[in-house]
């Protein structure tokens, strides 16, 4: 589809308040066309509305995943299972992702979970977690 056709489709979708479809079309434009498209009030409303939904969905997923990790830790403790190295690798990655999003509280909570579940038993991973903490 040509750029003028994409812009026309975007404008129509935004006018119809099909926010998800408008956002999808807007993402297909190059950066200059995206910026120019935002001059249309309907496009602006649709794009920002959908972006806000996506951010909200990411936050909901982050909350759900954090709770799941807490539950898994409780299950492993109750079953008296050792925490495998993969557990600490996953927590280090999760804490890093939280820091990338500037979610310092979630990163701190994740690191605390790692240290509370025995990260020190895995020296290399413990060092990586300490580096993430810094």
Q: Where are the domains of the chain?
A: 1-58
- Per the model's pLDDT, the better-predicted residue between 112 and 131 turns out to be 112
* pLDDT (0 to 100) of residue 134: 66
Tens digits of residue pLDDT in 23-68: 999 999 998 999 989 989 999 999 989 988 887 788 888 888 899 9
Label residue 94 exposed, middle or buried (CB < 10 Å: 0-12, 13-18, 19+): buried
| pLDDT exceeds cutoff 90 at 12 | yes
* pLDDT of 15 above 90: yes
Task: Report the pLDDT value the prediction gives residue 42, as an integer from 0 to 100.
Answer: 92
Whether 110 and 69 have beta carbons less than 8 Å apart is answered as yes
Q: Which long-range CB contacts under 8 A does 28-37 form with residues at least 24 apart? A: 29/3, 33/3, 33/6, 33/7, 37/7, 37/10, 37/11
Q: Are 95 and 128 in contact (CB under 8 A)?
A: no
Predicted confidence (pLDDT) at residue 74 exceeds the cutoff of 70: yes
Given a cut of 90, whether residue 21 has pLDDT beyond it is yes
> 2-11, 17-26, 96-105: which range is least confident on average?
2-11
Q: Give the pLDDT score at 55.
A: 77
With 0-12 / 13-18 / 19 or more C-beta atoms within 10 angstroms meaning exposed / middle / buried, residue 108 is middle
- pTM of the entire predicted model: 0.65
Residue 97's pLDDT is 86
């Amino acid at each position: 589809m040509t750029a003028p056709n994409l812009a026309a489709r975007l404008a129509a979708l935004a006018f119809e308040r099909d926010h998800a479809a408008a956002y999808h079309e807007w993402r297909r434009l190059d950066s200059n066309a995206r910026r120019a498209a935002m001059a249309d009030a309907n496009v602006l409303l649709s794009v920002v509305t959908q972006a806000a939904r996506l951010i909200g969905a990411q936050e909901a997923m982050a909350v759900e995943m954090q709770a799941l990790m807490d539950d898994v830790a409780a299950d492993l403790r109750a079953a008296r299972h050792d925490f495998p190295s993969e557990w600490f690798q996953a927590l280090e990655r999760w804490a890093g992702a939280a820091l990338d999003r500037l979610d310092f509280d979630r990163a701190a909570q994740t690191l605390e979970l790692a240290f509370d579940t025995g990260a020190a038993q895995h020296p290399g991973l413990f060092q990586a977690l300490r580096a993430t903490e810094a």
